[in-house]
């Protein structure tokens, strides 16, 4: 029996889900898999584990609950422990590298990434009697993968007569991907709706949609606090830095001055996870060092040491990014720290119209849990509550006493370039569904108001209805490598709730093998088709594990992984950034398909001069990119970027994108590494030395080993016309027809025998089509043995 305090008991009775305890539990007892949908705040996360506990599910095995967000896992375990009057040794949490789980743990909250890891070592999840996948509507990659895995684990456990229950919880009724996907669940699992009382929320749109939503949020909050009756305010912005800025401003404007005791503590920047992250990477690094230094003797030095995948500042060896837990808003805040001044101005403009202090609290994922918990603690006498939050407060945590919501309508997401797979954190509009969730936060205690800092036209026209599942937004090479690193061997046959494209998955596996991230596939195996089915797919290599830590497409990850030698990293970072941004060089007057000299010879000459020095020339088009970025950055520092770009055929917006990417990549490499000076973005990066340029060619080959081409041997062709036609033609590895050097290539005159190219593409010319290759670098044929696996 659970011994709850009267206060807790009273609070529970107010939660909608409590009225349905019997119904919910009957359904769960009768079905192996159940979906529970209910409004945020209806009591799903805090109450359902208690129902299960009281129904005896924790008697022999554990009750496991997964959350996509660390914040929620910690906060909910504490709340449930408190409500049940049990110690944290029994109601515990485990997030990656941190937790308080003990052998006595009965109820275990964890991030979805943690449960995935456990499946690697205990596929049947034999320690659990029930798994609750919370916040399934968020469609995080790991929760989606867990749904797929558990759809198989549950029947297996049934067969062994140690049944496992699966409960999928969602804050929305949009669950058809789970209920109607027969590959996932042959019989659709029953759905129970928790009817929640929701008070009406009046939604106010703005006439216009200001870009500076942080300043606008500040202004709106001033007004609400000065003019509107009692009730807590909840503000949604996109990231930790924005939250902290706004909190500082609001605190300064409406100071709360209690006795010294309660003085604001400084916000902690990093949680205590670092140490253990370092531990994890140490293991990986140790394994890496063990791998043999093969091939090295064969080539003349200096050359790239293929066994050297050290990250910069390797002494501390930390994880690049803990990708197993996706709290995107924490990962990076690139250069948005300059709103400060504008807000200061504002403060003078609109002096506070009230003397009532505002009790301002920040909320975001990386906040320490003591700090997080303050949103639930009593508000000091005479204050109004104001919580500034990232979208953590959208559905994961229900903040009490909220009557006003101020919604920026934005969120920080990690977007991937479809072509290159490079990701960047960008602020985008939320979906309509998210905006409506946020508005709903104002109607839990009484009728409320939601102030949207955008116009109804923007909402109608620019907000998508729903956000796409994360898994369909990630590039498949990346996803494939990550699932394989997680120990999921048959990605192709995996029952995704909403699957990524199968053909693409297959091609991704191939490319990863060529790259050396997966073991080479045995090509001419004579085994039958059924044997093939049983055959395990190629294993992940050590290099693959390092690559998977970089937030870029695996081929670029490999280039970065090999670049911590000979001071190459700044160049590789710059190159990877430049290669990733589309159309950096404008081809004025030249269509991609015209096999003629550029209309503006000037640009072409300029490019040639950027690349035309000895070894540089062999680096080819990437050298042009390096020099172009360098020169453009110099022009930028002289405030002449636009005219420089215009007269040299560069796209100035692309230069800005390259800069952001360089900052982002550099930050990710430096993240959690003590030796921070090891790498910074140097706007005036010196050209590489000749020896470095040669090494960069090797690195390009290592990353693009599947994109090698050899010049068509013209002296073996007797026909004169044919020789002329094939003057610029190359034979590429997987193509029957030769491809032609793109007209913009600085290597078009030199026509080196062996090359790697960045991109091949086909163009329709009349009835036939022609292949072109571009982004050309010359290589030495003997390097192929060393840098291209297989
Ligand atoms: P759901 O999961 O359905 O969104 P929850 O179970 O998270 O709902 O929340 C139920 C209620 O419990 C909410 O009113 C919330 O404010 C309250 N609550 C959650 N954590 C705490 C806490 N640490 N202190 C006080 N109340 C809390
Ligand atoms: Mg919840």
Q: Token pair of 17, please? A: 């889900």
Q: Is 327 left (phi over 0), alpha (psi -120 to 50) or beta?
A: beta
Pick the range with the lowest mean pLDDT from 219-228, 359-368, 611-620.
611-620
Test site for ligand 1: of 44, 375, 400, 446, most ligand atoms within 8 A of the Cβ: 400
Q: According to the model, what pLDDT value does residue 444 have?
A: 86
What mean pLDDT comes out for the span 386-412?
93
pLDDT for residue 314 is more than 80: no
Confidence band (pLDDT; 50, 70, 90) for 242?
A: very high
Task: Give 398 Cα–ligand 1 centroid separation in angstroms.
Answer: 5
Q: For helices 554-561 and 476-485, what crossing angle results, to 10°?
A: 60
The set of residues, in sequence order, having a beta carbon less than 8 Å from that of 513 and lying 6+ positions away, is 519, 520, 521, 538, 789, 790
Question: pLDDT by residue (tens digit) across 561-574?
Answer: 888 777 888 899 99
Question: How far is it, in rounded angstroms, from Cα 171 to Cα 440?
Answer: 11
- Any atom of ligand 1 within 6 Å of the Cβ of 408: no
Has residue 271 got a pLDDT over 70? no
Q: Which residue has the higher pLDDT, 284 or 758?
A: 758
Look up tokens 């550029």; give the residue. Answer: 598
In contact, 422 and 552? CB cutoff 8 Å: yes
C-alpha distances (whole Å) from 463 to each of 192, 207, 597 are 29, 16, 44
435-469 pLDDT, tens digit each: 999 999 999 889 999 999 999 999 999 999 998 89
Q: Is 172 in the pocket of ligand 1 (CB under 6 A)?
A: no
- CA of 88 from ligand 1 middle (Å) equals 18
Best residue among 9, 12, 45, 46 to mutate for probing ligand 1's pocket (most ligand atoms within 8 Å of CB) is 46
Per-residue pLDDT reduced to its tens digit, 47-57: 999 999 999 99
Residue 401 dihedral angles phi and psi, to the nearest 5°? 65, 15
Ligand nearest to the CA of 69: 2
369-394 pLDDT, tens per residue? 788 889 999 999 999 999 999 999 99
DSSP letter at 585 equals: B
pLDDT at 293 over 50: no
Residues of the chain above pLDDT 90, percent: 44
Ligand 1 atom at minimum distance from 17 CA: 3
Q: From the CA of 38, give the closest atom in ligand 1.
A: 3
For residue 534, pLDDT over 70 is answered with no
Ligand 1 in reach of 42 Cβ (< 6 A): yes
pLDDT of residue 325: 46
- pLDDT band at residue 628 under the 50/70/90 scheme: confident
Which one has a higher pLDDT value, 439 or 287? 439
| Residue 43 beta carbon below 6 angstroms from any ligand 1 atom | yes
pLDDT > 60? residue 208? yes
How wide is the angle at C-alpha 197 spanned by C-alphas 194 and 198, nearest 5°? 115
Q: What is the DSSP string of 246-307?
A: HHHHHHHHS-----GGGPPPPPPSS-TTHHHHHHHHHHHHHHHHHS---SGGGSPSS---TT
**Tokens 């192929």 appear where?**
784
**Which residue, judged by its Cα, is nearest atom 27 of ligand 1?**
376
Ligand 2 center from residue 519 Cα (angstroms): 41
pLDDT number for residue 528 = 57
Distance 623 CA to ligand 1 centre (A): 57
Q: Which residue has the tokens 């036939």?
A: 768
Cβ atoms of residues 247 and 362 within 8 Å? yes
Q: What ipTM was estimated for this complex?
A: 0.99
Ligand nearest the Cα of residue 11 is 1
Give the position of tokens 């991907």: 177
Neighbours of 493 (CB within 10 A): 10
Residues 6+ apart with CB under 8 A from 2: 50, 53, 54, 84, 85, 86
Q: Closest ligand to 48 CA?
A: 1
Strands (E), 89-199: 91-95, 98-99, 107-111, 128-133, 165-170, 191-194
Torsion of CA 771, 776, 779, 785, to 10 degrees: -50
How far apart are the C-alpha atoms of 40 and 405, rounded to whole Å?
15
pLDDT at 594: 37
Residue found under tokens 């062994």: 160
Instruction: Specify the pLDDT at position 752.
Output: 93
Pocket test for ligand 1, best of 14, 52, 79 (most atoms within 8 A of CB): 79
Q: Is there an atom of ligand 1 within 6 Å of 437 CB?
A: no
Looking at per-residue pLDDT, the higher value among 352 and 366 belongs to: 366
Round to whole Å and give the CA distance between 436 and 428. 16
pLDDT over threshold 60, residue 110: yes
pLDDT band at 589 (very low <50, low <70, confident <90, very high): very low
The answer to whether 92 and 102 have CB atoms below 8 angstroms apart is yes
The predicted structure's pLDDT at residue 599: 42
pLDDT band at 45 (very low <50, low <70, confident <90, very high): very high
What percent of the chain clears pLDDT 70, i.e. is strictly above it? 78
Q: Which two tokens stand for residue 626?
A: 């390096």
C-beta of 15 in contact with ligand 1 (< 6 A): yes
Question: Whose atoms come closest to the Cα of 137: which ligand?
Answer: 2
Work out the number of other CB atoms within 10 angstroms of the CB of residue 426: 14
Does ligand 1 come within 6 angstroms of the Cβ of 398?
yes
Q: According to the model, what pLDDT value does residue 3 have?
A: 94
Protein residue closest via CA to atom 24 of ligand 1: 376
Q: Please name which ligand lies nearest the alpha carbon of 374.
A: 1
- Residue nearest to ligand 1 atom 23, measured at CA: 79
Interval 468-526: pLDDT, tens:
898 888 778 888 998 888 778 888 889 999 998 888 888 888 889 888 899 876 554 55
Distance 106 CA to ligand 1 centre (A): 20
Predicted confidence at residue 689, as pLDDT, reads 87
For the purposes of burial, counting CB atoms within 10 Å of the CB of 763, is it exposed (0-12), middle (13-18) or buried (19 or more)?
Answer: middle
Which pLDDT score, from 0 to 100, does residue 342 have?
Answer: 36
Q: Give the residue among 391, 382, 403 at the shortest CA–CA distance from 326.
A: 391
> What's residue 644's pLDDT?
86
State the pairing for strand pair 232-236/384-389: parallel
Closest residue by Cα to atom 10, ligand 1, is: 43
Q: Give tens-digit pLDDT for 746-770.
A: 888 889 999 999 888 777 777 787 8
pLDDT score at 251: 94
Considering the entire predicted model, what is its pTM? 0.70
Does residue 49 line the site of ligand 1, with CB under 6 A? Answer: no
Select from 202, 70, 194, 65 the least CA-distant residue to 134: 65
- Higher-pLDDT residue of 114 and 653 is 114
Is any ligand 1 atom within 6 A of the Cβ of residue 46? yes
Residue 310 has pLDDT above 60, yes or no: no
Q: What is the mean pLDDT of residues 581-589?
A: 63
Q: How far is the CA of 44 from the centre of ligand 2 (A)?
A: 6
Is the pLDDT reported for residue 33 higher than 80? Answer: yes
Residue 92 has a pLDDT of 97
Q: Is the dihedral angle over the CA atoms 558, 559, 560, 565 positive or is it negative? A: positive
Beta carbon of 622 within 6 Å of any ligand 1 atom: no
User: Over 90: is that where the pLDDT of 697 sits?
Assistant: yes
pLDDT band at 1 (very low <50, low <70, confident <90, very high): confident
Task: Write 595-599 long-range contacts (CB < 8 A, 24+).
Answer: 595/728, 595/740, 595/743, 596/743, 597/743, 598/743, 598/744
Query: What's the CA-to-centroid distance between 135 and ligand 2, angstroms?
Result: 6
The CB-based long-range contact list for 598-604 (8 Å cut-off, 24+ gap) reads: 598/743, 598/744, 600/649, 602/649, 603/648, 603/649, 604/744
User: Quick check: 619 pLDDT over 70?
Assistant: yes
As a dihedral over the C-alpha atoms of residue 227, residue 220, residue 250, residue 393, rounded to 10 degrees, the angle is 110
In this predicted model, what pLDDT tens digit does every residue of 3-27 receive, in sequence order? 999 999 999 999 999 999 999 999 9
| Mean pLDDT score across all residues of the chain | 81
Q: What is the pLDDT of residues 176-194, one digit of tens each?
A: 999 999 999 999 999 999 9
Question: Which is nearest to 166 in space by CA: 154, 152, 148?
Answer: 154
Region of poorest pLDDT, from 42-46, 378-382, 593-597: 593-597
Ligand nearest to the CA of 377: 1
């Amino acid at each position: 029996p659970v011994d709850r305090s009267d206060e807790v008991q009273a609070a529970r009775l107010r939660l909608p889900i409590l009225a349905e305890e019997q119904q919910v539990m009957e359904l769960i007892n009768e079905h192996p898999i159940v979906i529970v949908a209910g409004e945020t705040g209806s009591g799903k996360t805090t109450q359902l584990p208690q129902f299960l506990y009281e129904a005896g599910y924790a008697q022999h095995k554990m009750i496991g609950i997964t959350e996509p967000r660390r914040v929620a896992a910690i906060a909910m375990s504490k709340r449930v422990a408190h409500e049940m009057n049990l110690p944290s040794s029994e109601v515990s949490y485990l997030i990656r590298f941190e937790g308080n789980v003990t052998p006595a743990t009965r109820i275990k909250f964890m991030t979805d990434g943690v449960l995935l890891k456990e499946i690697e070592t205990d596929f049947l999840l034999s320690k659990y009697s029930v798994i609750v996948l919370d916040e399934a509507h968020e469609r995080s990659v790991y929760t989606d993968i867990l749904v797929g895995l558990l759809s198989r684990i549950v029947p297996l456990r049934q067969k062994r007569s140690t049944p496992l229950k699966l409960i999928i919880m969602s804050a929305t009724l949009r669950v058809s991907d789970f209920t109607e996907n027969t590959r996932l669940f042959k019989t659709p699992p029953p759905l129970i709706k928790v009817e929640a009382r929701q008070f009406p929320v009046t939604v106010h749109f703005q006439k216009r949609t200001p870009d500076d939503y942080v300043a606008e949020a500040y202004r709106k909050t001033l007004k609400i606090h000065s003019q509107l009756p009692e009730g807590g305010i909840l503000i949604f912005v996109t990231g930790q830095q924005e939250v902290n800025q706004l909190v500082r401003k609001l605190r300064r404007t409406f100071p709360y001055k209690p006795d010294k005791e309660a003085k604001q503590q400084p916000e902690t920047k990093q949680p205590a996870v670092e140490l253990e992250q370092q531990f994890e990477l140490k293991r990986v690094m140790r394994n890496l060092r063990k791998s043999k230094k093969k091939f090295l003797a064969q080539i003349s030095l200096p050359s790239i040491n293929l066994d050297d995948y050290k990250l910069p500042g390797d002494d501390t060896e930390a994880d690049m990014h803990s990708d197993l837990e996706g709290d995107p808003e924490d990962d990076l805040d690139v250069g948005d720290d300059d709103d400060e001044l504008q807000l200061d101005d504002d403060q003078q403009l609109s002096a506070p119209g009230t003397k009532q202090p505002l009790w301002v609290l920040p909320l975001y994922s990386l906040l320490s849990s003591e700090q997080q918990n303050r949103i639930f603690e009593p508000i000091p006498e005479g204050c109004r509550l104001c919580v500034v939050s990232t979208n953590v407060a959208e559905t994961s945590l229900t903040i009490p006493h909220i009557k006003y919501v101020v919604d920026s309508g934005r969120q920080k997401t990690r977007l991937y370039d479809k072509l290159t797979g490079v990701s960047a954190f960008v602020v985008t509009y939320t979906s309509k569904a998210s905006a409506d969730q946020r508005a709903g936060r104002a109607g839990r205690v009484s009728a409320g108001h939601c102030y949207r800092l955008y116009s109804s036209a923007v909402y109608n026209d620019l907000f998508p209805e729903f956000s796409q599942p994360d898994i369909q937004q990630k590039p498949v090479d990346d996803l494939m490598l990550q699932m394989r690193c997680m120990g999921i061997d048959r990605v192709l046959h995996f029952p995704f709730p909403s699957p990524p494209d199968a053909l693409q998955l297959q091609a991704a596996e191939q490319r990863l093998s060529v790259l050396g991230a997966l073991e080479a596939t045995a090509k001419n195996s004579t085994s039958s088709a059924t044997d093939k089915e049983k055959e395990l797919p190629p294993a992940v290599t050590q290099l693959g594990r390092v690559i998977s830590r970089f937030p870029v497409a695996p081929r670029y990850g490999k280039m970065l992984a090999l670049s911590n030698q000979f001071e190459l990293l700044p160049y590789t970072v710059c190159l990877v950034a430049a290669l990733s941004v589309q159309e950096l060089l404008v081809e004025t007057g030249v269509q991609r398909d015209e096999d003629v000299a550029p209309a503006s010879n000037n640009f072409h000459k300029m490019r040639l001069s950027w690349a035309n020095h000895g070894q540089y020339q062999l680096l080819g088009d990437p050298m042009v990119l390096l020099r172009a970025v360098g020169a453009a950055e110099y022009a930028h520092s002289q405030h002449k970027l636009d005219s420089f770009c215009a007269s040299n055929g560069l796209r100035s917006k692309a230069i800005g994108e390259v800069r952001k990417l360089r900052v982002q990549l550099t930050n990710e490499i430096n993240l959690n590494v003590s030796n921070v000076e090891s790498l910074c973005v140097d706007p005036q990066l010196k050209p590489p030395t000749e020896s470095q340029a040669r090494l960069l060619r090797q690195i390009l080959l290592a990353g693009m080993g599947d994109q090698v081409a050899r010049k068509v041997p013209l002296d073996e062709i007797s026909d004169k016309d044919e020789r002329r036609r094939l003057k610029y033609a190359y034979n590429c590895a997987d193509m029957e027809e030769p491809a032609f050097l793109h007209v913009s290539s600085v290597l078009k005159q030199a026509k080196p025998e062996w090359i790697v190219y960045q991109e091949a593409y086909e163009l329709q010319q009349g009835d036939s089509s022609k292949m072109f290759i571009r982004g050309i670098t010359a290589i030495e044929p003997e390097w192929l043995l060393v840098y291209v696996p297989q």
